[in-house]
Structure formats: C-alpha cells, structure tokens
C-alpha cells in the first residue's frame, strides 16, 4: 500500500527563503503556506518569491489567508474579529483575499484556504446572504484560475459549513479539515464532522487537542496538544479519510514556537507515518 503524503504548514512572512529552508531541513517536500509579507504580493517582490519557491523544490499545496486584527485570545474575541464575518472588515478582507488568489495563481498554488469566520447558524440571518455573495466572488476568482477555495473547519458546526458550501454553490469549494479546531472551539466531534464534510475534504491539518471541560465547551478554548495525545483519535480519523478516498497530504500544524515545536513536528510525522 502506498504511503500518504505528510506536509507542514509554515508562515512565509518576511523571510520566505529561511522558512522554506527550515521546512526542507525537517525533511518535508510539501507545505501549506501562511501569507508572505505584502512586498511579495506584486511586482518584483512576487518574482523574487516565485524564484525562491522554485529553487526550494518544495510543493506548496495550499496558500492560507489570515487577517490583521484577528484576535484569538478568547473564543468570544475571535467570534467578533475572525475571517470575513466582521462587517467593518469585510470589504478590506475580501479585497486582500482577491490579491492572495492572484498571488497564488501566479505562484502555481492550486488551492487557497481561509477561516470564513463564525458563519451564522441561521441562514435567514440578514448577514448570511452578503457573506455568501462575497465568498462566492472569491471562489469564482479561484475557479477562473483553475483553483479550489477551501474553508478551514472549526468555527462552526460541520452541518453549518456544508449548508454554507451549498449556498455558495460552486463546484470548486473544499474544506480544509482541522480536527483539533473542532475540539478547541467545541464545535463538534471531528469523527462525526468528517462524515458530514467528507466529500468536500481538500486538505487536512495534522493537529490535536483536548476538549475543554463539559459545560465550558464552545465558551472556553480546549487545549492544543502534540498529535496523538489529544481527543482527535487520529488512527480512526485516518481510517475515515482513507475510506473517503482522500489522497491529499496531511499537513502538520503545531501552533507553538521554538525547539518544542520542532520536536513535536518530528513526533507528529513519526506518528502519522504509522497510519497514513
């Protein structure tokens, strides 16, 4: 049986060369990329970035979009500040997303991904329609370039996400499945969620977490832990991904920094290699 691919998510930031060297030195051949500094978005900066990526030999499977002003200090704060949902930020963030799609197309990256934000559970919420229109525009731009647009899981229930995908109504919409986010946000059991979003999975984050105490789920953060030590039940999850026919990479995400992050990434890969 062939081995599944394992990747790493890294943030290109100010020094993409250094970041890509880091991923390569850890032995990865594919990554998901967080945003580079804006000077790499257009013109000579963009050419420079393309050359750096080509020289690295790394495959970038997904370009992630994140936004200035997103506040992850509490679930309530990210509810207010996350993704495309905050009305005051929507225009600006949609414009940024369009620029990122153009950049990713130029770089030959086949998928762009983002948290949408806390999608209203009630699709008759007056704001739901506008959100749908904005995301559809970004999805259509991806489609024009032959790319997919993936929604990161976690901030809403899987059923809400699937409803939203149907309402956006494009065939190039995918889900970047992050089981740990489901646990951290308290938005549902990932083993059940993967069945709900199954046909849309176009990316997976290799991350793990423990639930907040019962009664506090969805109000207080769960706790991110090294892969295999949390409540995501990775072996069962991988069995489900295989049954779904998912053939893309599992992209390791460990949201800490320093030596411990490197250590945990190596251990996560060793764990995943046993099952994937």
C-beta of 13 vs 34, nearer to Mg ion: 34
Number of amino acids touching Mg ion (CB under 5 A): 3
Stretch that binds Mg ion, among 77-85, 99-107, 201-209, 229-237 (CB under 5 A): 201-209
**Residue 206, both tokens:** 């290799």
For residue 5, count other CB atoms closer than 10 A to its CB.
17
Tell the smallest beta-carbon distance from residue 183 to Mg ion (Å). 12
CA distance 216 to 169: 34
Q: Which helix (H) or strand (E) holds 176?
A: strand 173-177
178 sits near Mg ion (criterion: CB under 5 A)? yes
156 sits near Mg ion (criterion: CB under 5 A)? no
CA distance 123 to 157: 13
Residue with tokens 């414009």: 95
Sequence-distant (6+) residues with CB within 8 A of 211 are 183, 186, 217, 222, 231
**Which listed residue (115, 134, 174, 205) binds Mg ion by CB under 5 A?**
205
Stretch that binds Mg ion, among 111-119, 141-149, 204-212, 222-230 (CB under 5 A): 204-212
Query: What is the Cα 164 distance to its own chain's centre?
Result: 17
C-beta of 2 vs 73, nearer to Mg ion: 73
- Position of minimal CB gap to Mg ion: 178
Tell the smallest beta-carbon distance from residue 64 to Mg ion (Å). 8
Tell the smallest beta-carbon distance from residue 50 to Mg ion (Å). 25
- Per-residue x/- track, 240-259, Mg ion (CB under 5 A): -------------x------
C-beta of 28 vs 52, nearer to Mg ion: 28
**Residue 191, both tokens:** 């083993």
C-beta of 52 vs 202, nearer to Mg ion: 202
Closest among 268, 237, 238, 241 to 252, alpha carbons compared: 268
Closest among 160, 99, 167, 163 to 133, alpha carbons compared: 167
The residues that touch Mg ion, with contacts defined as CB under 5 A, are 178, 205, 253
């Amino acid at each position: 049986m062939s081995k599944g691919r394992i990747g790493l998510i890294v943030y290109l930031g100010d020094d993409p060369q250094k970041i890509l060297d880091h991923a390569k030195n850890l032995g990865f051949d594919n990554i998901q990329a967080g945003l580079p500094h804006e000077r790499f978005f257009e013109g000579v900066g963009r050419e420079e970035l393309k050359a750096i990526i080509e020289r690295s030999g790394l495959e970038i499977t997904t370009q992630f979009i994140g936004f200035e002003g997103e506040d992850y200090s509490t679930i309530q704060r990210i509810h207010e500040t996350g993704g495309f949902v905050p009305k005051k930020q929507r225009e600006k963030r949609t414009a940024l997303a369009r620029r990122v799609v153009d950049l990713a197309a130029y770089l030959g990256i086949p998928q762009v991904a983002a948290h949408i934000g806390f999608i209203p559970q009630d699709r008759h919420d007056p704001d739901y329609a506008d959100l749908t229109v904005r995301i559809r525009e970004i999805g259509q731009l991806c489609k024009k370039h032959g790319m997919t647009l993936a929604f990161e899981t976690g901030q809403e229930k899987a059923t809400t996400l699937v409803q939203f995908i149907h309402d956006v109504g494009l065939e190039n919409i995918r889900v970047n499945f992050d089981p740990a986010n489901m646990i951290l946000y308290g938005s549902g059991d990932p083993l059940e969620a993967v069945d709900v979003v199954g046909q849309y999975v176009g990316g997976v984050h290799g991350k793990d977490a423990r639930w907040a105490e019962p009664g506090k789920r969805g109000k207080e953060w769960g706790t991110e832990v090294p892969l295999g030590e949390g409540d995501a039940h990775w072996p069962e999850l991988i069995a489900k991904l295989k049954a779904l026919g998912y053939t893309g990479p599992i992209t390791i995400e460990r949201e800490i920094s320093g030596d411990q992050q490197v250590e945990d990434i190596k251990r996560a890969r060793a764990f995943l290699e046993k099952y994937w």
